[in-house]
Amino acid sequence: MGILDFLSGEFIDVIHWTDDSRDTMVWRFEREGHAIKYGAKLTVREGQAAVFIHEGQLADVFTPGLYMLETNNMPIMTTLQHWDHGFRSPFKSEIYFINTTRFSNLKWGTKNPIMLRDPEFGPTRIRAFGTYTVKVGDAAKFMQEIVGTDGEFTADEITFQIRNIIVQEFSRAIAQSGIPVLDMAANTAEVGALVAKAIDPIISQYGLTIPELYIENISLPPAVEKALDDRTSRGIAGNLDDHMKWKAAEAMGAEGSAMGQAMGAGMGAAMGLAMGQQTMTQGPWGAAPQAAPVAPPPPPVEHVWHIAENGATKGPFSKAALGRMASDGALKRETLVWTAGQDGWKAAGDVAELAQLFTILPPPPPPPAG
């Protein structure tokens, strides 16, 4: 073995790329003068592709494997160089390693609301956001359309354009899907599949694919969300008329309790005054007290009444006010009334205390003058 053969065997040119950044999509193999030794070893790992650029023209693309850079496995490069099988001189080419793994957890979202016509709410606006994954499907096309001569190309350099495409196709797909807004949350997988299918022809022109696209949230304007909350509350309340009656009764019960507490306080004050007077009538030596006058009982509490009309309540009204209303025709026998202590709403004519309001006859006409 000659010295030249020994040196040729010892100094084997090894071309490979390892990366742990998880963000680099393309990396150019740097070599002084781009001189690649004939017979060099090229290692392309799983999840990679190697693209040779010779004199500004895309030559060969290598998939994962170990290659000896010779004429028998570089057909395009051999054609460009017009090599014969005895050629052993170094050649000058640029080698770009392409990361063909998936780049995941990339974000997308609508900057502005999307207008659509909902079958239930009519014209409305929605916002949406989610995540997606992207990978290089065609290394040669990706180099030609996107990378160019960039020596280190990262995912951030292409995600902005992809986001714009996703939002555009999402707007179109969601408008054509016919899925009601209230059902979108249950059909995010279906909507995501529609969007991914619409995006694929556009993304493939860049040599890329989007294996996954997820919709994490679809939201409505705050005013529409509030209207939905109100509608849900009405559904929980059940029959609106019964709900209003129950609320009115609850309010009247609270009012009656407050009136009872006031009456109790008044009676307590009267009893305290009577005990003070009794103490003052006793003598200085503890003589038998004189009989204290008995305080009269408190006057009866006048009932106040509430009227129910058209699902709403009016009042409270005194009995005298109800009498005037009866004479004016505003209060009828069938009018529903309620007062504290009464068991539910009753017609005014069925309440003994009010029935007499409808039997009072008007006075006769006055006698003629003179």
212 burial (CB, 10 Å; 0-12 / 13-18 / 19+) is: middle
Measured between alpha carbons, how far is 15 from 3 in angstroms, rounded to an integer? Answer: 24
pLDDT digits (tens, 9 = 90+) for 121-158: 788 888 889 999 999 999 999 988 888 878 888 888 88
319 burial (CB, 10 Å; 0-12 / 13-18 / 19+) is: middle
Measured between alpha carbons, how far is 131 from 134 in angstroms, rounded to an integer? Answer: 10
Task: Tell me the CATH class for 302-361.
Answer: alpha beta
97 burial (CB, 10 Å; 0-12 / 13-18 / 19+) is: buried
pLDDT digits (tens, 9 = 90+) for 174-210: 877 778 887 877 778 888 888 888 888 889 999 999 9
> Worst-scoring range by mean pLDDT, 58-72, 295-309, 317-331?
295-309
Residue 274, pLDDT > 70, answer: no
Measured between alpha carbons, how far is 41 from 67 in angstroms, rounded to an integer? Answer: 6
Measured between alpha carbons, how far is 197 from 59 in angstroms, rounded to an integer? Answer: 32
Residues 6+ apart with CB under 8 A from 228: 220
Q: In whole angstroms, what separates CA 69 from the centre of its chain?
A: 56
Task: Tell me the CATH class for 103-226.
Answer: alpha beta
Q: Where are the beta strands (DSSP E) in 137-284?
A: 152-154, 208-219
The DSSP string of 145-168 is IIITT-SEEETHHHHHHHHHHHHH
Q: Where are the beta strands (DSSP E) in the chain?
A: 14-15, 24-29, 35-36, 41-44, 48-54, 57-62, 65-68, 91-92, 94-99, 103-109, 114-118, 122-136, 152-154, 208-219, 305-309, 312-317, 336-338, 346-347
Residue 73, pLDDT > 60, answer: no
pLDDT digits (tens, 9 = 90+) for 93-127: 788 999 999 999 899 998 888 888 887 778 888 88
Model pTM score? 0.54
Tell which residue, 167, 46, 196, 23, has the closest CA to residue 104.
23
Residues 6+ apart with CB under 8 A from 3: none
| Degrees to nearest 5, angle at CA 180 with 223 and 122 | 55
